[in-house]
Amino acid sequence: MKRTRGFSLLEMLAALSLIAVLMLLAVSSFSGSSKLVEPLARNAARTEQVLAAQRFLRQSLAGMMESSQFLGEPRTLEYVAAAPLVLGGALRLHRLEFVSDMAGGWLLRVAFFDPERKTWGDDQILVDHLRDVRLAYRGFDDMQRDTGWLEHWPWTPRLPKVVQVKAEAVGSTRWSTLSVVLRTTQQLRIGQ
């Protein structure tokens, strides 16, 4: 009868040590790759936040209605427009504000109000971690001359023809200057 010889204890320890080293290398390469993926995922989320904020601003500002409740300041804009459909779509007073985030930066917040100026729903942070923020307005003065860009819009209830949102996003994500042409009945009459 032939006797088969198994592995010695020393051979088993050497094999287990080799497997442990290979597993350690595999785990460290996975953790290293996750350290590369995390910043990319944060950057993608940040880019989506900025794009969603700009999409909301573009749609909301383009749907602005002429109203005596219009207020155009360098860091605050109040106007009447339809709320997003997910919030019912009814006409609401919108207040866009650039607010200090207490860390030296700015965030863009939107609040909605009902016709009696009572808060309607919770304030929403559209985008955070901004710097060098401002709103500007361009339209016609009382003599129907082009105003150029203004930090304050003095001709309420007449709306400007363009609202500009300037900001600089902190980090690698860019905030492109957003200029929205307003579709008002006054401008429709002028264009006819």
> Any idea where the domains of the chain sit in the sequence?
49-191
Confidence label for 2 from pLDDT (cuts 50, 70 and 90): low
Using alpha carbons, select from 115, 111, 61, 118 the residue that is nearest to residue 87.
Answer: 111
How confident is the model over 105-123, as a mean pLDDT? 88
- Other C-beta atoms within 10 Å of 137: how many? 25
Using alpha carbons, select from 121, 127, 126, 61 the residue that is nearest to residue 87.
Answer: 121
Confidence label for 174 from pLDDT (cuts 50, 70 and 90): confident
> pLDDT tens digits, residue range 67-83?
778 899 999 999 999 88
Q: Are 100 and 115 in contact (CB under 8 A)?
A: no
Task: Look up the pTM and report it.
Answer: 0.75
Q: Are 80 and 113 in contact (CB under 8 A)?
A: no
Q: Are 94 and 112 in contact (CB under 8 A)?
A: yes
Q: Are 91 and 67 in contact (CB under 8 A)?
A: no
H/E run at residue 9: helix 9-62
